[in-house]
Structure 1
Amino acid sequence: MDVFWYALVGLLLTGYLVLESIDFGVGMLIPLADTEAGRVRLRRTIVPLFLVNEVWLVAFGGLLFGALPLLEGELLHAQRTPVVVLLCAWFLRDAALWFRHASPGTAWRRAWDAVLPVTSLVLAAGWGIVLATLVRGLSTGDNGRADATAGDIFHPFSLLCAALVVVAGLRQGALFAGRGLPEGDALRARLDRTAKVLTPVLAGLLLVTAAVGAAVTDSPVTVGVVTAVAAVCVYASHLARGAGRTVPALLLGGVPLLALPVMVGFAHGSTVLATRSGAGDLALSRAIADDASLTLLSATVLPTLVAVALGQVWIWREFGRPAVRPAFTEA
């Protein structure tokens, strides 16, 4: 049962990263829209969905606290700097989506239009770095606890994984936003070209990440297999996109976003927080909550998660469909 709870926590984080990557991508692509109408149309593709996607992150944090309380404390301590940056970017990104139309002034809107792509980029890159440091293993602080140092954060493998999440998010965002725009639309053409250019870039990043990961981690087989599967899925996504099948293209294009959480889960076996020295390692058997807490979680959290998942499916079916609308200008 320990593995079940650890896997469920990882599944919630993976769900957040895969779905929210679309929001990251669309946010980063806002500069491609050179008209007010285009910016409004891009923004509206994610406004109904970004809060729904964030439910996965809230559920991840709650279940991490309930099922793996010691891991949450050690993880927040080790990743305190990246976590603070991610939280600030998260709040500003949501503010950019909520507050853009709070004032009719052009300067006000342009300011939030500048905040949105920057914070979306920080969020995508930040999650790539956090997960990469966990795959590679953290440094050990003077107190013997795991610690993500500047060397861990700016290590080439971490930067590669940051670029991987950014490029995958951009491609997902371009595919998702472009499908709701009319044929012949200039913005749709720019989004289509962006997705086409990013496909080989993403595949190349996966190959380079596999090579570097095999050299700097203790799990070269895990890194190699996961990235190879992701690269194949990128190629399959390209074929599906060429055949006009956008939904399969999006599903397959989301696989590279699965790669890093899967690597975290399999890279260190039963060690849920690994250090390169081994001094600050945290084993799953130590991190898991007591039996009484897990029993309570089984009775309360599991049914709630099922209901949330069903609700998410309904919301995506209702608000995630492409709705082609003519361009318009807000008053």
Structure 2
Amino acid sequence: MDVFWYALVGLLLAGYLALESIDFGVGMLLPLAETESGRAHMRRTVVPLFLANEVWLVAFVGLLFGALPLFEGELLHVLRLPVLGLLCAWFLRDAALWFRTAHPGSGWRRSWDTVLPVASLVLAAGWGAVLAVLIRGLSSDGNGQALATTADLTHPFALLCAALAVAASLRQGSLFAALGLPERSALRVRLGRTTRILTPTLLVLLVLTVAAGALATDASVAMAAVAVLAVAAVYCSDRVQATGRTGLALLLGAAPMVALPVLVGAANGTTVLATRSGEGDLVLSRAIADPASLSLLVTVLPVLVAVVFGQLWFWRVFARTSPLPT
């Protein structure tokens, strides 16, 4: 049962990254829109969907606190600076989406048009680097306590995971932002060109990331298995997109983002907070909440199911953008 709660926490994080990667990508691609109507279209593609996507992050944090309280405390302590950076980027990204139209001044809008892609880039790269640190294992100090150092966050494997998250988000964003645009509009042509460039780039990054991960961890077999599935999903996404089924292409294209939290469990098993030296490891049996608390959390499961169906309805209704004039 302990593994069930740990897996459920990971599933919520994977769901958040899969959905929110579209928002990250659209935000980073905003400079491709050269006209005010184009920028308005890009913004409409993620408002109000990003609020529904963030429900998964709230659910992830809530369940992490309820089911794995010791793990949450250790995790936030060890990764306090990266998490603070992600929070700041999150607030700025949301502010850019809401505040851009709050004032008619051109300087005001240009400022938020700069904040949005930068904050989106930090979010995508930051999540990739943080998850890479957890996959590879943390450093430990002289007292045997786990800690995340600058070297951990700038290790080649962490940088590759950051680049992978950015490329995957850009591809998802380019696919989604093209919806609702006239077939021959300049913005749609630029987005289509971007998608065609990003697909092979993403496949190469997947191979390089797995190769670096195999060298940096002892989970080369698990790395290879996840990589094969992710590469196959991205390849199929490209084939499916060629037939015009963008929804299925987006679903398959989310595989690289889902692979990152999956690799945390695949690389470390039931060691929820792993260090490379083995000192300061936190195992699942110690991190899990007491049985009484877990029994209360069972009542949350129907709510999570309702959230999933609510998300499907929300996307069905709102994931449609009005076309721009030709």
* Alignment TM-score, normalising by the size of structure 1: 0.97
CA distances 1:83-137 after superposition (whole Å, capped 9, x unpaired):
0100000000000001001100000000000000000000000000010000000
Is 1:304 paired with 2:303? yes
Is 1:320 paired with 2:299? no
Counterparts of 1:124-143 in structure 2 under 5 Å? 124-143=124-143
CA distances 1:229-277 after superposition (whole Å, capped 9, x unpaired):
1111111111111111111111111111111111011111111110000
Letter in 2 for 1:24: F
- Find runs of 4+ consecutive structure 1 residues off by over 6 angstroms: none
Q: After superposing the two structures, state which structure 1 stretch, 72-81 or 107-116, moved more.
A: 72-81
- Find the counterpart in structure 1 of residue 108 from structure 2: 108
- Find the counterpart in structure 2 of residue 223 from structure 1: 223
Shift of 1:223: 1.1
Q: After superposing the two structures, state which structure 1 stretch, 192-201 or 211-220, moved more.
A: 211-220
Letter in 1 for 2:316: R
CA–CA distance in structure 2, aligned partners of residues 181 and 138 of structure 1: 45
CA–CA distance in structure 1, aligned partners of residues 270 and 305 of structure 2: 27
Q: After superposing the two structures, state which structure 1 stretch, 125-134 or 209-218, moved more.
A: 209-218
- Find the counterpart in structure 2 of residue 178 from structure 1: 178
The alignment partner of 1:100 has SS state of helix
CA–CA distance in structure 2, aligned partners of residues 11 and 211 of structure 1: 25
Contact 2:12 2:59 in 1 (8 A): yes
- Find the counterpart in structure 1 of residue 164 from structure 2: 164
Counterparts of 1:1-331 in structure 2 under 5 Å? 1-299=1-299, 301-326=300-325
Letter in 2 for 1:201: T
RMSD of equivalent CA atoms:
1.0
The alignment partner of 2:180 has SS state of coil
Contact 1:132 1:260 in 2 (8 A): yes
Q: After superposing the two structures, state which structure 1 stretch, 240-249 or 90-99, moved more.
A: 240-249
CA–CA distance in structure 2, aligned partners of residues 172 and 323 of structure 1: 19
For these two proteins, the number of residue pairs brought into alignment is 326
CA distances 1:175-228 after superposition (whole Å, capped 9, x unpaired):
001022111100000000000100000000001111111111121111111112
CA distances 1:124-157 after superposition (whole Å, capped 9, x unpaired):
0000001000000000123422111001000000
Identical aligned residues as a percent: 67
CA–CA distance in structure 1, aligned partners of residues 186 and 143 of structure 2: 57
* Alignment TM-score, normalising by the size of structure 2: 0.98
CA–CA distance in structure 1, aligned partners of residues 238 and 304 of structure 2: 33
Contact 1:136 1:218 in 2 (8 A): no
Contact 2:45 2:320 in 1 (8 A): no
CA–CA distance in structure 2, aligned partners of residues 315 and 248 of structure 1: 17
The gaps in structure 2 that reach 5 residues or longer are: none
The gaps in structure 1 that reach 5 residues or longer are: none
CA distances 1:289-316 after superposition (whole Å, capped 9, x unpaired):
00000001102x1122122111111101
Contact 2:41 2:321 in 1 (8 A): no
CA–CA distance in structure 1, aligned partners of residues 234 and 46 of structure 2: 23
Shift of 1:322: 4.6
CA–CA distance in structure 1, aligned partners of residues 141 and 79 of structure 2: 12
Contact 2:44 2:321 in 1 (8 A): no
Shift of 1:324: 2.5
CA–CA distance in structure 2, aligned partners of residues 196 and 322 of structure 1: 22
Q: After superposing the two structures, state which structure 1 stretch, 314-323 or 154-163, moved more.
A: 314-323
Contact 1:206 1:228 in 2 (8 A): no
